[in-house]
Amino acid sequence: MNDVSPNSQVQHEPLFDIGDLLMLIWNKKFRIIITAGAIVTLLGYYVMQMPKVYSAKTTLLLGESSAEMSLPQGLASFASAGDSKLDTYLQYMRSRQFAERVVEQSGLMFRAELVNQNQPDSAKRLAAAQRLQNGLGYSRLGETNMVDVTFESTSPQLAADVVNAVGPVFFEYQQQKSQDRAQDASRWLNEQFEEVERQLEASEATLQDYFLENRLIDLASQISLASSEISTYMSQRIQVDAQAAEMKTMISQFEASGDDVQGLLNVGYIVKNSMVQDLRKRILDEEEDLAEISQRYKFKHPRYIAQVSKIDAMTRELESLIKKLVASLKQEYQIMLERSEEINKLIDEARGRHSELGQHEVNLAKLRREVESTQKLYDIFLSRLQETEILRDLGGQEEFSVVDFASVPTSPSKPNFVLLLAASVVFAGFISVMGWLFIHIVSDKRSRVLSVLASMDVPVLTEIPRIFRTRRKLSTVLKASRDNMRFAESIRTLRTALIVRNDLDENRVIAVTGVKPNDGKSLVAASLSESFAKLEKSMVLDADLRYPSISGAYKLKESLPGLTSFLGNSAPAGKCIHKITDTQLSVMPSGIIPQDPMVYLSKPRFKAFLHKLSIIFERVVIDVPPLEQYSDGLVIGRNVDAIILVCDLEHTETAELVQAIQKLRDVGAPLVGVVFNRVKNLPAAPGQSRRSYLKIPFLHRRKKTGILSPETA
């Protein structure tokens, strides 16, 4: 047994292959041809009734302005609303304003072919403009400046007149617009020129006043002189600072020596002094003389004393000279410091003058730039003003002309009867094929379900016709089904399929369930049990403990004991089974409806009871709840010999049927096949013509006269 998931076969199983499609088309070829012929006839009649439309075309040249005489884009950008003049022209020609201008200047509003002449003039003008705006077509010829203008109308003369009026009206409008634009540009340029002229005069006067106020003659020379002066002062300050530093070093040496003459004599400045050198030489000479005298005379000798006094006087003179030199050096150092400060002041003054001259130079450069820029703008406006005056005198320079005037068309452009008829044939054939294919796909749900069941290896046991179009009580439907030949034949087919089933075990206990509620499983169970009762001892058991209906089908009292009474040990089996008079059929109703049916159906007592029933009766048919909402059928299915799944094709989706089959297979229920219930347009039974089938209700009505019913027959 092949287990198939509920969705795999439904999603991937094709409705039919290409061979089926071709066969379907071949089988319905006459219907397709007749339908296509009817569509072609309707379309052909519509095409022949279409009015003849004439198309006229003229070619216009919309050239650009001459480059030498065009207004500058920077100052006359208002002359073009877009980047391309040709696009601007085309957009204007498509506007309502241009359409109204053409209508007014060419008198088209008085043409009866274009508008209704019974309207007032304002309404006629608006209607004609609307017609022209919607009907005129413009197309550019490649990358050129030429444009094709087309218009379609049922009147060939009107089509030619409309397109021939477009060019002159547009050219006149552009000529007037060019003159107005030149006048506006000239007026605007004059105003701007006067303003620039005033700005130039004011900037020149400001520059001259700045020279006079600051007494500037040759600013570059003054700046160069100030720079040279600063450089000279800087050189002087460097020299003075160097001398002052040297003096400061010597003064530091003096201070370090204190009043020691010998220490001061070690200072280079003192030693190098010529007076000090001369005086020291004289002292040395006198000391040599003293040494010679001391060899001859004692220290008390007058000559010795005189020589010593002379040396002391010279020594004191040397000390005095050294002190004077030290004092002179210090005084000179102070003079150097004062000179350095004086030079710094001179440098600061020179830098101030240089900075002031630099600021004057910046201001003058700014004033000069302002004068130069104003002068350039003045020159530009002057030249453009002269060009504008020339343009205004010469007029517009646009190259507008009609390249090819439209002639009155002699043959209609629309409709193309041959092409439309050919397209109608193709369209009609396609629609006819697709329509019948769609009808087949929508109406042939049965074929799709059969294909899915075949892939799952589940047979269709029988197909039961629909008796009533609306739902009615089971007793009413069961009564009507006994007299319906097609219904009876379908039940007999189901009975035969169960009897001749090639299994080891006999199908003695048979459960009948449905995919969804109201699929008609109770009717099938009751009818099948009645059909078995004609051959053998049979019983129908109502195991639908939620919505029982078997007792109502046979008009038994609801208070009679039944299945729940027996399983609940409240009544013996003999009182729960009720035999139908004059038949081999017995009925066991559901009994009292319990709150939880699974409490009764899952008991071992229920399984043992079914086994005993299979011994007592040849066939036991059990009415089981549907599988979509309840699991009762899955529990019962494990305790029976065969289970039948009833499906209402009209109200059951393929996926729901597959899911119900899969549920039974998952619990190992012995599913023998599917029964299609309430099938519409079911073929007539073997040996019965369609006409005789239509008379079945008549046979039922004449049953009282002695004519046998189909079931009895």
Q: What are the pLDDT digits (tens) for 193-248? A: 888 888 888 888 887 888 788 777 777 777 888 888 888 888 888 988 888 888 88
What's the CATH number for 445-705? 3.40.50.300
State the Cα–Cα distance between residues 465 and 485, nearest whole angstrom: 10
For 163-204, the pLDDT digits (tens) are: 888 888 888 888 788 777 777 777 888 888 888 888 888 888
Dist CA 652 CA 502 (whole Å): 30
Q: Is 65 helix (H, G, I), strand (E, B) or coil?
A: coil
pLDDT in tens, 643-701: 999 998 888 888 899 999 999 999 999 999 999 998 876 655 444 444 333 333 333 33
3-state helix, strand, coil in the chain (%, to 5): 60, 10, 30
Task: Tell me the C-alpha distance between 619 and 494, whole Å.
Answer: 14
Q: Which residues pair with 56 in a beta bridge?
A: 151
Reference 626, options 477, 496, 512; nearest CA is: 512
Please say whether the beta carbons of 55 and 408 come within 8 A: no
Mean local confidence (pLDDT), 445-456? 83
Please tell me the distance from the alpha carbon of residue 323 to that of residue 421, in angstroms, as a whole number: 141
How far does Cα 670 stand from its chain's mean position? 56
Residue 182: helix, strand or coil by DSSP?
A: helix
CA distance to 65, 186, 387, per residue, from 70 (Å): 6, 13, 9
Instruction: List the Cα angle 684/690/696 in 5-degree steps.
Output: 85
Q: What is the DSSP string of 85-121?
A: HHHHHHHHHTSHHHHHHHHHHHTGGG-TTTS-TTS-H
Among candidate residues 667, 641, 670, 646, the one with its CA nearest the CA of residue 656: 646
pLDDT tier at 626 (50, 70, 90 boundaries)? very high
pLDDT tens profile 354-409: 888 888 788 888 888 888 888 888 888 888 877 777 766 655 555 778 887 888 88
Predicted local confidence at residue 683, as pLDDT = 56
Hey, which residues does 673 pair with through a beta bridge?
644
Backbone angles phi, psi at 97, to 5 degrees: -60, -45
| Residue ranges in 416-473 assigned as alpha helix (H) | 417-443, 445-455
- What pLDDT sits at residue 664? 92
Name the DSSP class of 238: H
User: How far is residue 245's CA from residue 241's CA, in Å, rounded to a whole number?
Assistant: 6
pLDDT over 90 for what percent of the chain?
A: 17
Q: What pLDDT, on a 0 to 100 scale, did the predictor assign at position 76?
A: 43
Give the tens place of pLDDT for each residue, 48-85.
878 888 888 888 888 754 444 444 444 444 444 334 77
pLDDT in tens, 552-604: 888 888 888 999 989 888 889 889 999 988 899 999 999 888 888 988 888 89
For the sheet containing 400-404, what is the strand order?
A: 137-140, 146-153, 54-62, 400-404
The single-letter DSSP state of residue 73 is T
How many Å apart are CA 57 and CA 403, to the nearest integer? 11
| Residue of 180, 146, 145 lying closest to 71 (CA atoms) | 180
Split at pLDDT 50, 70, 90, the class of 349 is: confident
Sheet holding 642-648, edge to edge: 460-465, 671-679, 642-648, 509-514, 619-623, 538-542, 585-588, 578-579
For the segment 509-565, what is each residue's pLDDT rounded down to a tens digit? 999 999 999 888 999 999 999 999 999 999 999 999 988 999 888 888 888 899 998
Distance of alpha carbon 389 from alpha carbon 391, whole angstroms: 5
Q: Which two tokens stand for residue 526?
A: 């009751």
CA angle, residues 52, 58, 61, in degrees to nearest 5: 160
pLDDT score at 696: 32
| Residue with token string 């009544």 | 571
pLDDT at residue 618, as a whole number? 92
Quick one: pLDDT band at residue 118, thresholds 50, 70, 90?
confident
Report the alpha-carbon distance of residue 231 to residue 347 in Å, rounded: 9
| 554 contact partners, CB below 8 Å, separation of at least 6 | 475, 526, 580, 587
Give me the residues paired with residue 401 across strands: 61
CA 432 to chain centroid: 39
Residues 6+ apart with CB under 8 A from 438: none
Residues in the chain: 713
Distances (CA, A) of 710 to 482, 644, 688, 698: 8, 25, 11, 11
The alpha carbon of residue 129 and the mean position of all alpha carbons in its chain are separated, in whole angstroms, by: 40
Which secondary structure element, helix H or strand E, spans residue 131, and what is its range? helix 121-135
Q: Where are the domains of the chain?
A: 8-50+415-443, 219-389, 445-705
Tokens matching residue 423: 């397209």
Q: Which amino acid is at 601?
A: L
Query: Residue 577 and residue 584: Cα distance in Å, rounded?
Result: 13
Rounded to whole angstroms, how far apart are CA atoms 382 and 686? 111
Instruction: Give me the phi and psi of 635, to 5 degrees please.
Output: -70, -45
Query: Residue type at 82?
Result: G
- Dihedral, CA of residue 412, residue 413, residue 419 and residue 420, to nearest 10: -80
| pTM given for the model | 0.44
Task: Give the pLDDT of residue 443.
Answer: 62
For residue range 483-506, what is the model confidence (pLDDT) as tens digits?
888 899 999 999 998 888 655 467
State both tokens at 685. 């039974």
Q: Decide if pLDDT at 449 tops 70.
A: yes
Residue 32 CA to residue 25 CA, distance in Å, equals 8
**Average predicted confidence (pLDDT) for the chain:** 80
Q: Tell me if residue 644 falls in helix, strand or coil.
A: strand
Q: For residue 70, which amino acid is it?
A: S
Q: Which two tokens stand for residue 115?
A: 């508008």
668 token code pair: 């190992």
